[in-house]
Chain A
Amino acid sequence: MNVLLNDMAEHEKLDQFIARIKAGEKIEADDWMPEDYRGTLIKLISMHGISEIMGALPEKEWVPKAPTLNRKLGIMAKVQDEMGHGQLLLRVAEDLLKPYNKKRDDLMQDLFTGDLKFHNVFHMESKSWGDAGLIGWLVDGAAIISQTNMLGASYGPYARALHRICAEEVFHAQHGEAIIMALAEGTEEQRKMVQDSIDYWWESLLLFFGPPSKNEVGSSKQDVTIKYRIRTSTNEELRQAFFSKYVKRILSLGYTIPDETLRFDKDTETWIYQQPDWGKLKIIARNEGPRSQQRLNLRRISYENNKWVREALAPKVI
């Protein structure tokens, strides 16, 4: 097989590759793949992986503060899962990076320099216990929508990792929902906590799915990921699915959504909504969001402080 592949012209390999993914076959780590497929996967998966890791930090802030023993146990389990997802995904990304001779350490350096981005939602502040609940309920809810969209990804290792991740994310969303429900049924202060969280996070949740096209922020990876069957739906389709799933739930709890124009148009069967400020996505991509630098600093400090540990554990040069 490999000998045959070596003899083939580049375009023939590409034709064969496209035929394989069209037939629903999975591409594995050692299979031939076009450079832009590999490059797209590296970007996508390393960003997803590092986002899980950076995403543990906003909730970590609330781990010790969780108000009951059960809530403490719940949120500890959740952030531990997130770290586990990050580890799983970075392993997938590392396999893809092999031909470039890059490793985990290079990904960490890319994170510090700003070349490797993490999702916009994890640049935001988590100011209250309400935010800790809302992150589980709606941020993880949004993540489930965007990740189930890739469960059938043509790249086998990513698809398999996602199957496991999505199963756990469902528990996270339930954990978040349980926190929110307790607050929603609670005192006036507790109820207000949830409304404040919805108001603060709403725009970030819309931004999370990415721009509808490259017109909004100058670039979009969605066309190439659809072409290579890594994902099926567009950013806008995912955002619409999010509205369909959550708008009614939010309103039924007696809360408002900070968008007076939001409505479902029966004729076009789409949600009409106020566009978020897409410029904020660019600001966050430069790591200039509300908590970007503080959270990056935590990882930088840990990287620096533990240098001696890495050295001590490194294989001895003989």
Chain B
Amino acid sequence: MENNSSLENTAIKELLLQLADDDFIHSYRGSEWLGLAPHIEEDVASSSIAQDTMGHAAIFFKLLEELGEGDADQLAHDRPAKERRNAIILEVVNGPGNYMEDPDYDWAFAVVRNYLYTQAKAIKIQSLHSSSYEPLAEVAQKVQMELYYHLMHWKTWFIQLLGSGHEEAVSRMKAAIEKTLQDFQGVFSLGHYRVEMVKQGLIEDEAVLLNKWIQEVTPVFESVGVACSIKVGMVKGDGRTGQHTEDLEKALETLSEVYASDKTATW
């Protein structure tokens, strides 16, 4: 049985891990697209966003380091999949193939996942502004400034492609929406310590966050003629509890290849 103060600490650490792991893997999926985006201007923009997102992950890992959870680089590179807390939808591959040889990636899935995740992140970050954990509330201010542009970017793509009237574009986007929503609940899950997190005022409740997100995305869906009452699911499981897929295992192998070649070396 944990005592009160260690339970409090655990809840803070869990939340930080969720935030860090989400952005770490999301940034990786973004960086796989470099050189493969639909045009050069998009390569410039989306690689800038992936870079910002890795910066956010680094900030969250640093907060964990300050809490005595170990070195930020070790936390990022040296935890097996079962210890990761990211939502499963963020680890799903961009498409078949490897980023170095034969990437058969789907831009529709990229746009949908990026837009929906960025909107969800914006709502969480907004909630973190009034977090009882002050270092996190401070960090939220900085992250929000960059997030404003990320959200504008992906929302524009989302609306343009769905509103294009182009048959293939619309059907690809709709398929991507379905694929993304069926696992999107995982983004809002707060994991095993959800009650404690809310009790401590670290972040608002899952249902509150999810509802705010639905309020934001519904009019956007409607504006491009996607009739819906938005339903999210978690068919592949809850990543916050350490459930993950092979996609994450493979990604982590790549992300830690050099680090793991000598963990004690200075790089």
Contact = CB atoms under 8 A, between A and B. Distances in A.
Given A65-B255, A71-B267, A313-B164, A299 B35 contact: yes
Given A73-B55, A76-B47, A301 B35 contact: no
Contact of A90 (B36, B40, B48, B72): B40
Contacts of B128: none
Nearest to A298: B35
B243 to A, nearest CB: 23
A312 B164 contact: yes
Contact of B31 (A64, A309, A311): A64
Given A68-B259, A189-B262, A306-B38, A61 B100 contact: yes
Interface size class of A (residues with CB under 8 A): 35 or more
B166 A64 contact: no
A182 B258 CA distance: 14
A57 interface: yes
A152 to B, nearest CB: 27
Interface string B162-176: 001110110010000
A75 to B, nearest CB: 9
Main secondary structure of the interface of B (DSSP, over half): helix
Given A299-B35, A305-B104, A308-B172, A66 B44 contact: no
Given A64-B254, A83-B47, A72 B35 contact: no
A186 B265 contact: yes
B267 A68 contact: yes
A186 B265 CA distance: 7
B48 A308 contact: no
Most buried by B among A68, A71, A183, A312: A312
Contacts of A45: none
Given A64-B28, A64-B31, A69 B266 contact: no
Interface of B: 28, 31-32, 34-41, 43-44, 47-48, 50-51, 54-55, 57-58, 61, 72-73, 76-77, 99-107, 160-161, 164-166, 168-169, 172, 251, 254-255, 257-259, 261-262, 265-267
Interface of A: 53, 56-57, 60-73, 76-77, 79-80, 83-84, 86-87, 90, 104, 129, 182-183, 185-187, 189-190, 294, 297-299, 301-302, 305-306, 308-313, 316
Given A298-B35, A316-B165, 14 more contacts: A64-B255, A129-B267, A182-B266, A182-B267, A185-B266, A186-B267, A190-B265, A297-B102, A301-B102, A302-B38, A305-B104, A309-B38, A309-B107, A311-B166
